[in-house]
Amino acid sequence: MAVSTPWSTLPPELGDAVRPSLPDVVDEVIDTIPSEVPSYARPLEGRFGEGVRMGVEVALGRFLDLPGTDSPALAEEDRAVYLALGRGELLQGRSLEALLAAYRVGARVAFRRFADLAGHLDPALLMPLAESVFAYIDELSAVSAEGYATEQSRRAGESDRRRGELLSLLLSGSADAPSVTAAAASAGWTVPEEVVAVVVEEELAGGLRTRLGPDALVAAYGGEVVALVPAPARAVAREALRAALVGWRAGVGPARPWAGAPASLRLAQQAAALLARGVVVGEPVFADEHLGALVVHRDAELLASLTAARLAPLDQLRDSSRERFAETLLAWLQHRGERQHVAAALHVHPQTVGYRLGRLREMFGPVLDDPQGRFELELALRGRTPG
């Protein structure tokens, strides 16, 4: 089923009647645009002027082919002209609104001139002519907006690619200063003296860029999304970073010079892993706030061996009792044997603590009086997963 167009109601002879005056109309449009659109106030000469004139000539010439037809506003070759005009606006540093304003000026001038000429044929043509002219300009505007958006997308994609390459370079651990400087310039990113790495799950990439802002270098890396951000120099900046990442299950590495970005990332990943396992709480997790936990859990196999060796005496207890005695032993080690403090920490009576400590001495024996033994017991207890 054919789609009706506004110009289908215009008489076919309208285009032929107006066409002889087309060069004058083109000149008037080109003379009027600079006075009404500030972005086009410079002389319309050189390649810029040629582009404007071609756009006006193609637009008006194509319009005069349309009366009495259901043809689309633009043929495919004409679309290419207006896609290019839209891209050109971005490349020239102008807003799309400047081009659309120029189209509106051109439509007004062209309608006035065409109406004068068409009025000699039939005054009843004025309303359908007005509708046709402005519907036609809307089509031109839409195609140029598409060209503008395509160029924006291409630029964004190119920028993302370069920033991703820069992030990979910084995280490679083998980048030299000249290479980083050149890649940063290409990516439009200023390399801070110190950075911190942030790691989140891969599906959060787009949101992370928004949360962290333009100072962050964000890209997919090794199945995760990694950001390098300037190291917070003050407490308020650190808290702003924390607030931006609340609820994101993010790991945040410690501040390092840019050459130490891989180390910051490793610790960020380890912090995120501890969060995922429930060893630490809070989102995000700053690695430098959990260094002890990171050290204890750095080697899971070694920790398991230590736990099995040092906590073997607890295996003689039932599951329900084993956890209570483990908590009591850890509290006793943390509070240096102060029974009242241990009782307060466990919310039990001091006599209960005394009973449990007696049982613990029976099970562990002299190791409780050995500094090295107590140190290893505390490591094992801090590293165990409650059963």
Q: Based on the domain organization, do 146 and 15 belong to the same domain? A: yes
Q: Based on the domain organization, do 318 and 212 belong to the same domain? A: no
Question: What CATH number does residue 368 fall under?
Answer: 1.10.10
Q: What is the model's pLDDT at position 43? A: 62
DSSP assignment, residue 284? S
Is residue 166 domain-resident? no
The interaxial angle of helices 46-63 and 126-171, nearest 10 deg, is 140
d(CA 179, CA 169): 9
Q: Based on the domain organization, do 290 and 316 belong to the same domain? A: no
Q: Based on the domain organization, do 292 and 319 belong to the same domain? A: no
Q: Based on the domain organization, do 17 and 133 belong to the same domain? A: yes
Q: Based on the domain organization, do 49 and 123 belong to the same domain? A: yes
Interval 235-261: pLDDT, tens: 999 999 999 998 888 999 999 999 999
* Torsion angle, alpha carbons of 103, 105, 106, 111, to 10: 120
Residues 373/306, Cβ–Cβ less than 8 Å: no
Is residue 168 domain-resident? no
Q: Based on the domain organization, do 222 and 95 belong to the same domain? A: no
> What is the helix (H) or strand (E) element at residue 246, kind and residue range?
none
Q: What is the model's pLDDT at position 13? A: 83
b/e 129-157 (16+ beta carbons within 10 angstroms → b): beebbeebbebbbebbbebbeebeeeeee
Q: What is the model's pLDDT at position 192? A: 93
Residues 272/249, Cβ–Cβ less than 8 Å: yes
Is residue 182 domain-resident? no
- Which of 242, 275, 296 represents a domain boundary (last residue)? 296
pTM for the predicted model, two decimal places: 0.56
Q: Based on the domain organization, do 278 and 312 belong to the same domain? A: no
Is residue 186 domain-resident? no
Is residue 176 domain-resident? no
- Which of 296, 331, 366 represents a domain boundary (last residue)? 296
Question: What CATH number does residue 18 fall under?
Answer: 1.10.490
Q: Based on the domain organization, do 287 and 329 belong to the same domain? A: no
* pLDDT string in tens for the chain (387-residue length): 345 788 898 888 888 888 888 888 888 888 888 888 887 776 666 676 777 788 888 888 889 889 889 898 888 888 888 888 888 887 777 788 888 888 898 889 888 888 877 656 677 778 888 899 889 999 999 999 998 888 877 776 787 888 889 999 999 988 889 999 999 998 889 999 999 999 987 665 567 878 888 889 988 888 889 999 999 989 999 999 999 998 888 999 999 999 999 999 999 999 999 898 888 888 899 999 988 888 888 877 887 887 888 888 988 888 878 889 999 999 998 888 888 998 998 999 989 989 999 999 999 998 898 888 888 888 888 877 543
Residue span of the structural domain in which 127 resides: 6-155
DSSP 3-state percent helix, strand, coil across the chain (nearest 5): 70, 5, 25
Is residue 213 domain-resident? yes
Structure tokens at 133: 């002219």
Q: Based on the domain organization, do 127 and 14 belong to the same domain? A: yes
Give the total number of structural domains in the chain. Answer: 3
Q: Based on the domain organization, do 204 and 340 belong to the same domain? A: no
Q: Based on the domain organization, do 340 and 291 belong to the same domain? A: no
Q: What is the model's pLDDT at position 386? A: 46
Question: What CATH number does residue 291 fall under?
Answer: 3.30.70
Is residue 163 domain-resident? no
Is residue 204 domain-resident? yes
d(CA 309, CA 88): 72
